[in-house]
Chain A
Amino acid sequence: MEAFTTHTGRAVPLRRSNVDTDQIIPAHWLKKVTRDGFEDGLFEAWRKDPSFILNQPEREGATVLVAGPDFGTGSSREHAVWALQNYGFKAVVSSRFADIFRGNSLKNGLLTVVLEQKIVDALQELAERDPQAEITVDLEAREVRAEGITAAFELDENARWRLLNGLDDISITLQNEADITAYEAKRPSHKPRTVQV
């Protein structure tokens, strides 16, 4: 995973609540067997509407998505995170994220930042008023900064450490190989098995 320390970029205000992962990347895109090439599928249905925010020329190259509450609900498809990253987003700001989407984002280095709704509103207003306005998402300082706005955000220390260092979860877990083996040795015999090995 790519490390995330701090990022500054222009923003896209997405004034919708409950943006589900079917909207972020529709199911027919899920037939791909790679982690890349999903950028054209991002918000595919909404992008057919010329007035949709991502279609506005001044939003080209924006890297911070400022979304409505309950972003990423529904399906567990990690493709939603890949689609946002493939398109160029580095961070998503919302007052609430769905649990699975949030977990997936942090495993891929897409920083999902939870801020109070009134701060999200202020960031959306800023981005709407001035498409050139930049937002800084600073993971080291755990702070979001923009013109006239400074807001601290929470992220658990372990997740932050892994993001800052771009660490691979599997390698970390395998350092505890002895614990896993010890646990396996004491599992009861009535637990189900799919095959005899």
Chain B
Amino acid sequence: MGRTLAEKVWDDHVVRRAEGEPDLLFIDLHLLHEVTSPQAFDGLRQAGRPVRRLDLTIATEDHNTPTLDIDKPIADPVSRAQLETLRKNCADFGVRLHSLGDVEQGVVHVVGPQLGLTQPGTTVVCGDSHTSTHGAFGALAFGIGTSQVEHVLATQTLPLARPKTMAITVDGELPDGVTAKDLILAIIARIGTGGGQGYILEYRGPAIEKLSMEARMTICNMSIEAGARAGMIAPDETTFAYLKGRAHAPEGEDWDAAVAYWKTLRTDQDAEFDAEVVIDGAALSPFVTWGTNPGQGLPLSASVPDPASYEDASERLAAEKALEYMGLDAGQPLRDIKVDTVFVGSCTNGRIEDLRAAASIVEGRKVADGVRMLVVPGSARVGLQAVSEGLDVVFKEAGAEWRHAGCSMCLGMNPDQLAPGERSASTSNRNFEGRQGKGGRTHLVSPQVAAATAVLGHLASPADLSDAPAARTPAGV
């Protein structure tokens, strides 16, 4: 019987397979950042172990880094100490590090692909659940805990039980104005935050094949929000074109050999998935979340659901708690929800294509009174690219704040946070309680919806801008 893409990549990395044991998998690329690595390096020190493969390891600073005044000492002493710990660990063990201020610094999941380190058919791990992003290249990429970070540093392998596979086939063509973010939010709403538990997802079908690499990364990034550790997309000409010429992409004969291998990384016709989901891409529209987990989402045209409409008791209770936390009423149109802050950035939507999309909507317009719009490029290079295209000027002229690269308000480990009760439209990946700051309320949206929301001051899509912007007076919240 044929094999799925995930099974092929898995099989190619088995170092040891024995009855009654998990497979021992080789790891091709290990990405590190300051938050989940200090205790792992401590463990190495205590055991007197070196980093086994420095040439397959790379570190950057992202979670704690400020997005303003990056040339000054970091104000928060605890954040500063954590970054200094990473710098010391990388220096002591010889790990390549891109620190704040370095042109290759940025959100770890933006940095790997832009350097060309993330390649089809590789295994990629990082102490961060959004490592699933790299699956967009046909890599098997997943987040790990700190104990596993230490394990990979010491052995370049991980013992793992093979997950099941799930096909998510997106038929048809996404309508104009519908983005990868809308698609993945709709998928999560459909299968639920636990729907992917125990599976590697493979996104496939005509709507997926048409997506750019940036859009594919947005999709794979949020696999974890559906409960799946990893999500993958088979590599194709779009993938090869993205990689060609990047700093760490293969060259010459190696390129030819790599492409020949990469072309074999497709699910065989006769392969069987353990589960299959089919989505009609043509039926989708801009999608936003209303609750406190990424599965609590609906089309922007819908209204806040009534918890009483849920048959499942635990879903009903979750909806009740979510509405209470979010300060929303059942039946309220989602378009009437006013926001205080708009965040464009993160490993989900902080790439150049995302910034272009948001800029094209705010260009010549103004951010609504009382709304703060933060634009945070996913990496220093994305920031430079945006500046070279004049996007920073577009954002600033519209009244948005243009910042330096990092995770920023996606999780608020740096000073970029919501105040209690503040509400955001955010292009990030998690709307958990307090995720963007204690008491903060998050609505997950695409960059396009974020930009339109910034202009109108309430949840909106670009289509809402064409007819009488600013004339609408939202009721409710």
Q: Which residues of A contact B (CB under 8 A)?
A: 15-18, 20, 22-23, 26-28, 30-35, 45, 68-70, 73-79, 81, 96-100, 103-104, 107-108, 156-158, 169-170, 172-174, 176, 179-180, 183-184, 187-197
A158 touches B194 (CB 8 A): no
Q: Are A22 and B147 in contact (CB under 8 A)?
A: no
- Selected from B54, B122, B151, B254, the residue in CB contact (under 8 A) with A169 is B151
A33 to B39, Cβ gap below 8 A? yes
Given contacts A100-B224, A183-B26, A192-B29, 10 further A-B contacts (CB under 8 A): A27-B63, A33-B85, A78-B36, A104-B148, A176-B16, A180-B26, A184-B26, A187-B26, A192-B117, A192-B250
Q: Smallest Cβ distance from A2 to chain B, in angstroms?
A: 13
Give the docked Cα–Cα distance between A27 and B76 (Å).
14
For A68, give its contact among B146, B314, B435 (CB under 8 Å): B314
Name B's A-contacting residues (CB within 8 A).
15-16, 20-22, 24, 26, 28-29, 35-36, 38-39, 42, 47, 49, 54-58, 63-64, 76, 78-79, 81-82, 85, 96, 116-119, 122, 127-129, 131, 142-148, 150-151, 154-157, 159, 161, 163, 193-194, 197-198, 224-225, 227-229, 248-250, 254-255, 257-258, 261, 293, 314-315, 317-318, 321, 411-413, 430, 432-435, 438
Residues of B within 8 A of A172 (CB): 159
Set B144, B317, B318, B435: member contacting A76, Cβ < 8 A:
B144
Contacts of A68 in B (CB 8 A): 314
Most A-side CB within 10 Å, residue of B29, B55, B248, B314: B314
**Of B39, B258, B293, which is within 8 A of A20 by CB?**
B293
- Would B29 and A17 count as touching, CB distance under 8 A? no
Tell whether, in the assembled complex, residue B129 and residue A75 are in contact, meaning their CB atoms are under 8 Å apart.
yes
The 3 closest A-B pairs by CB, nearest first: A104-B145, A33-B38, A78-B145
CB contacts (< 8 Å) of B147 on chain A: these are: 78, 104, 107-108, 169
Q: How far is the CA of A79 from the CA of B129 in the complex (A)?
A: 13
The one of A45, A74, A170, A176 in contact with B49, judged by C-beta atoms closer than 8 angstroms, is A170
Closest chain-B Cβ to A13's Cβ sits at a distance in Å of 13
Which residues does chain A contribute within 8 Å of B154, judged by CB atoms?
A: 170, 173-174
